Structure 1
Amino acid sequence: MSARVYGSPEFRIGDRAVGPGHPCYVIAEAGSNHNRDLDTALRLIDVAAEAGADAVKFQTYTAEGLYSRQTPEMSYLKDKGLVGERESVWELIKRVEIPWEWHADLARHAASAGITFLSTPFEEAAIDLLEDLGVPAYKIASYEVNHLPLIQYAARTGKPLLISTGMASLGDIERALDTAAAAGARDLLLMHCAVNYPPRFEDLNLLAIKTLRSAFDIPVGWSDHTMGNTADVVAVALGACAIEKHYTLSRDQEGPDHPFALEPDELAAMVVAIRETEASLGSSVKRVTEAEAEMFRLGRRSLVAARDLLAGGVITPADIAVKRPGFGIPVDALDQVVGRHVAHDVVRDQVLQWDDLER
């Protein structure tokens, strides 16, 4: 791999720090689940904000700029009934593309809801539109990792780039990063991704998060198309600094992205699971925590008088019991206690202290 330094270990998207040691940056991916209905798109923003996501993200493309009209049909779309009987891929994309005139309204609504507005650009004109709106970062989709002119154009904005890596080899990723860095990008994050809708768990290869971090020494996240939040929890445990997840108002709606998307309550549960995972990872230092202090004192065992002991008597093993609580002479000091004289009368079940023994 290249020895090139691609960026810093952390950066900011708006007012949020992203990178190791910071809370995972959660992107709620609305995608095309707006159904070309502005009210639905606005409600999706509200749902993302209510769920506690850091950003809501749409996708900015045109059918004309994305697909040839001669693109063959895609089996997963056909098999799942996501494309009409006589509808081409181009026609499907035309049907679900977001009207570009919506973007200003969406960005304003996101700002009022207290959530960052993002959109994935699929052509240079989309970047121009999003630049006018002041978006703070750009996501490069897995399908575009070899679209070096697009990566270069996005990098020239100087904004952070989040590059998805589904279907990509390490060589593909290195070329994309080299292109971005040469064009001036300094804040880069790779998103491990398994492209399928949804993918099987055995195809996720989440350990590749560690591989990407080791190979390129920049923050790594996880772009997820699975159902539920198991993969997201595992990704965070493996060090993912960002999570992207599709969501919808209802999986019963028609459209290519609805069937594998989370519904509002599931999105909120995913954010909670991510935050609980981060909290549970804690520190690598093995010690008695503050939360354990009381039980450390009361729940562990120490040495206790097995019967009444008279002052001056010599302590035998039969005089000692090992019981809770744990604030007396520690159990591992038993050999230092047997054979000592009792300093004063001790009653049965008394927790022994060193001053109960003659010096």
Structure 2
Amino acid sequence: MSTFIIAEAGVNHNGSLDVAIKMIDAAKEAGVDCIKFQTFRASDLVSRKADKADYQKKQTKNDESQLHMLQKLELSPADFSILAQYCKERDILFLSTPFDFNSIDFLQTLNMQYWKIPSGEITNLPYLIKIAQTHVPIILSTGMSTIEEIGDALKVLREYGCGEVTLLHCTTEYPAPYAEVNLRAMETLRREFHVSVGYSDHTSGIEVPIAAVAMGATVIEKHFTLDRQMEGPDHKASLEPDELKAMVSAIRNIETALGSGEKKPSLSEIKNIPIARKSIIASRHIEKGELFSTDNITTKRPGNGISPMQWFEVLGKVSKRSFQEDELIEL
């Protein structure tokens, strides 16, 4: 099955509809399955007293509040309607994560195929209930969460009638240190909750999501930007379009390389069997009637004669004809 790859545009459009449209074009060119935005009304998301995260302070380089920062990154409902329609025209799936109740209600009108719940909402009980009651499939990020918190969230979602749930392992730091990625937690989630698992990546490169696919991730989410030099909180921890395209290409190669799991010679290997394997051959001139022994036979390439696995069946047999050195032995 093909990995579902989400290009996380997030707020990297910097509040510009034109930039968001260009990001859809870039995501389509990169070959992803889906582009995801973030839908919120800043005043419904954070209080006036909410501080910015350390990485946000570092990237924005000012003392504004989180509320003021997010207000500059909002897109309107009309903007999202335009983006959803443009995604349909470009044949790329549109998603947007809602961060408040009004955004959930609005995004329902766009008939998205999935809800993407961010890590920060996994302990937001009324939010989880409202999402679950729509009965739409859910992709749930689990950054900052314990096994117990994930279990509690899943219990709520299922109790209120959610659709199928996919869990994404995630490390909520920007960029995430490699030493804290802990990809093996994907296996824990799969084993503990018996659901499909994926990975939402915040590292600075493309190696980790590629490794996640090799470990069985069914969904990959990765932040991207048109230009890492743009002002804004998330650009520095995002891929640029050519890097996103390279990640997609590598993931598709890994999917192909994973194969069926059946161990047998591949079609391209079969022709190499007689070239790479060995046969039992004469190590010197052998007279007719002579017994085959370790003194007159050995194993060498090519492999189109008697297999060395029949070595003990050949030893002690009488040579029915003479053999020249390096000639394939026949019984």
TM-score range, shorter chain: over 0.9
Relative to structure 1, the CA distance from residue 339 to residue 73 in structure 2 (aligned partners, 3 Å threshold; closer, same or farther) is: closer
Cα distance in 1 for partners of 2:49, 2:316 equals 94
Out of 256, 269, 273, the position equivalent to 2:250 is: 273
Match of 2:60 in 1: 82
Q: In the TM superposition, what is the alpha-carbon distance from 1:70 to its structure 2 partner? A: 1.1
Cα pair 2:140 2:168 within 8 Å, conserved: yes
The 2-side partners of 1:347 and 1:128 are apart by 86
Q: Does 1:71 align with 2:50?
A: yes
1:207 equivalent in alignment to 2:184: yes
Aligned to 1:24: 3
**What is residue 270 of structure 2 aligned with on the other side?**
293
SS in 2 for 1:173: helix
1:125 paired with 2:102, answer: yes
Tell me, in whole angstroms, the C-alpha distance in 2 between the residues paired with 1:326 and 1:125.
71
- Give the Cα separation in 1 of the matches to 2:205 and 2:262: 31
Tell me whether 1:193 sits opposite 2:193 in the alignment: no
Q: Equivalences for 1:138-157 in 2 at 5 Å?
A: 138-157=115-134
SS, match of residue 342 in structure 1: coil
Task: Give the alignment of 1:332-347 within 5 angstroms.
Answer: 332-347=309-324
In structure 1, distance between residues paired with 2:303 and 2:186: 43
Q: 2:59–2:236: 8 Å Cα contact kept in structure 1?
A: no
For residues 194 and 27 of structure 2, what CA distance do their matches in structure 1 show? 30
CA deviation map 1:314-347 (0-9, x unaligned):
3232321311111211112222212222223433
Equivalent residue in structure 2 for 1:50, among 25, 29, 41 = 29
Contact conserved, 1:224 with 1:246, CA < 8 A, in 2? Answer: yes
Pairwise CA distance, 1:296: 2.0
Q: In 2, are the aligned partners of 1:36 and 1:99 still within 8 Å (CA)?
A: no
Native 8 Å contact 2:34 2:94 kept in 1: yes
Closer/same/farther in 2, CA of residues 281 and 220 from structure 1, 3 Å limit: same
Report the equivalent of 2:13.
34
Match of 1:183 in 2: 160
C-alpha separation between the residues in 2 aligned to 1:40 and 1:73? 24
Structure 2 SS opposite 1:96: coil
- Once the two structures are TM-superposed, the CA of residue 90 in structure 1 deviates from its matched residue by 0.6
How big is the shift at 1:81?
3.7
What are the Cα deviations for residues 151-178 of structure 1, in whole angstroms up to 9, with x where unaligned? Answer: 2111222111111111111221122111
Q: Tell me if 1:225 matches 2:202.
A: yes
Counterparts of 2:163 and 2:134 in 1: how far apart (Å)?
Answer: 11
User: Deviation of residue 34 (structure 1)?
Assistant: 0.9
Q: Which letter does structure 2 place at the counterpart of 1:316?
A: S
* 1:303 paired to 2:280: yes
Distance 1:138 1:121, change over 3 A: same
Query: 1:351 aligned to 2:331?
Result: no
Instruction: Tell me, in whole angstroms, the C-alpha distance in 1 between the residues paired with 2:12 and 2:115.
Output: 20
How far residue 280 of structure 1 moved from its aligned partner, in angstroms, is: 2.5
Unaligned segments of structure 1, at least 5 residues: 1-21
Partner Cα distance (1:199, 1:157) in 2: 32
> What is the deviation of 1:128?
1.9
Question: What amino acid does structure 1 have at the position aligned with 2:15?
Answer: R
Q: Is the 8 A contact 2:17 2:75 kept in 1?
A: no
Matching residue's letter, 2:110: L
State the identity %.
Answer: 40
- Structure 2 letter corresponding to 1:34: H
Q: What root-mean-square deviation, in Å, do the aligned CA atoms of Structure 1 and Structure 2 show?
A: 1.6
Mapped to 2, the partners of 1:286 and 1:337 lie a distance apart of 29
The unaligned stretches of length 5 or more in structure 2 are none
Q: Structure 1 residue 294: deviation in Å?
A: 1.8
How far apart are the structure 2 equivalents of 1:219 and 1:83?
Answer: 39
Q: Which residue of 2 aligns with 1:246?
A: 223
In structure 1, C-alpha distance between the alignment counterparts of 2:169 and 2:227, rounded to whole Å: 26
Give the secondary structure class of the aligned counterpart of 2:271.
helix
Report matched runs for 1:304-343 at 5 Å.
304-343=281-320
Deviation at 1:83, TM superposition (A): 4.5
Asked whether the equivalents of residues 82 and 255 of structure 1 are also in contact (C-alpha less than 8 Å), the reply is: yes
Indicate yes or no: 2:76 matched with 1:99.
yes
1:318 aligned counterpart, secondary structure: coil
Residue by residue, what CA displacement relative to the aligned partner does 1:179-205 show, whole Å, maximum 9, x if unpaired?
111111131011111010011111111
Q: C-alpha separation between the residues in 2 aligned to 1:243 and 1:257? A: 18
How many residues are paired up?
A: 331
| Contact 1:83–1:92 under 8 Å retained in 2 | no
